[in-house]
Structure 1
Amino acid sequence: MNTSIVIADDHPLMLRGLTDFLTSRGFNIVGSAEDGNTAYSLIVKLKPKIAILDIRMPYKTGLEIAEACKKNNLDTKIILITFDKEEELYDKAKAFNVYGYILKEFAIEEIETCIAHVINGTPYFSEEIASYLNASDVSQKPETLDLLTKSELKIVRLISKSKTSQDIADELSISIKTVHKHRSNIVHKLQLDNKPSSLSVWASVNKEYL
């Protein structure tokens, strides 16, 4: 798991805590910063896959960095960590293509799940704040679901319950080969990448619509 990450937070303890935690989980922390200008320079220079940014920092806020990344077509995906629950901040975050938005008090608990979603190209917003997001983009039923057949939907439902291919074959009385065929059709229809975990992550993110 060699996802390159830059972390920025103007609270040294939070910065060190997150850096140590993610390093211990095998992530590749390529740079850290205590203010927005330094953070943005690191993103431009190192082009990390993900930047985890505090919203409120000296010189540049996490949102301003997200806006600059969008304007300059930088590929780094932004995750914001914050104590803020104001709706207007979420709207801005979504407008600037922010991929993750988690509350600081849950940062350590949620950061790995958030990163897994982001690597997969799926936005992740803390459950605690999802309720604040009125009809947010995150909570809409994915249109691609309508492309799946009844059998494929059954299989995705079982995948969302963490069932293995063998479990699914047993439960539906079909061969494991058929399950693999269905899985590959589903991945193709949902336009997911071919990583083994992509379909499981997608199924768990969209569980409520299955």
Structure 2
Amino acid sequence: MWRPTVPNRILLADDHAIVRQGLKALLEREGFAVVAEATDGHEALRAARERCPDVVVLDFSMPLLNGIDAAREILRACPAAKAILLTMHTDDHYVLEAVRAGIKGYVVKTQASADLVRAIHEVLRGMMYLSPGISQAVVEAYLAKSEMPPDPLTSREREVLQLVAEGKSTKEIARLLGISFKTAESHRTRIMKKTDIHETAGLVRYAVRRGLIQP
């Protein structure tokens, strides 16, 4: 079996330790070097800034910062890195949001043991990888600049929305994001205005539909 001469460096981010352990064992058997692990999106971003891995493998539904928004920030910090998303979601709008964020591999978790190694090889070659069953046509339409509905929320607003949906208070959100209480409250107000949802329960349901948190 082919082995890279110099092991490619991988960052694994998933909030379930047993999942990380299984993926790490799989990747190390294939000759990759897992140089960092993370349990949430913020930790993944810190680890990526410190290690600048070749590939980051991110679970979609992580606490504090979801995989798509974590990937967006990581790719800003480490432009040469390639991002792969692990997810249970196969709906087109999740795939499109991932592609917009610069993610090159989209792997369905139930197929991860079979697909992840192939996905890593593909993205390292500069290709895009989608698990079987994901609509290639949707991605091609986006890449061809076809008309796609824009996400109404900014990356920061999605980050705030996720924390609201996780039950964090405005004060806690301000502390976690390193912003003022007033700024956190302003983000929350804009989220409600953009989504036309004006109560916390509705925001939680919206976050679940968007895949920011698990139901």
Which of residues 68, 74, 82 in structure 2 aligns to 1:69?
A: 74
Structure 1 residue 89 displacement after superposition? 1.3
State whether structure 2 residue 13 is matched by structure 1 residue 8: yes
CA RMSD between the two structures: 2.1
State whether structure 2 residue 84 is matched by structure 1 residue 79: yes
Q: Any gaps of 5 or more consecutive residues in structure 1?
A: 141-210
**Residues 127, 108 of structure 1: CA spacing in aligned structure 2 closer, same or farther, 3 A cutoff?**
same
**4+ aligned runs moved over 3 Å, structure 1:** 70-73
Structure 1 residue 139 displacement after superposition? 10
Q: Contact between 1:123 and 1:138, CA under 8 Å: does it hold in 2?
A: no
- 1:103 equivalent in structure 2: 108
| 1:96-153 CA-partner distances (Å, limit 9, x unpaired) | 11010010010010111111101100010101223xx54422999xxxxxxxxxxxxx
- 1:122 equivalent in structure 2: 127
Where 2:133 maps in the other structure, the secondary structure is: helix
**Residues 95, 37 of structure 1: CA spacing in aligned structure 2 closer, same or farther, 3 A cutoff?**
same
Alignment TM-score, normalising by the size of structure 1: 0.62
Alignment TM-score, normalising by the size of structure 2: 0.60
Percent identity of equivalent pairs: 27
- 1:24 equivalent in structure 2: 29
Which of residues 70, 85, 94 in structure 2 aligns to 1:89?
A: 94
Where 2:65 maps in the other structure, the secondary structure is: coil
- 2:194 equivalent in structure 1: none
Structure 1 residue 72 displacement after superposition? 4.2
Q: Contact between 1:7 and 1:33, CA under 8 Å: does it hold in 2?
A: yes
- 1:136 equivalent in structure 2: 139
Name the aligned partner's letter for residue 136 of structure 1.
V
Greater Rg, structure 1 or structure 2? Answer: 1
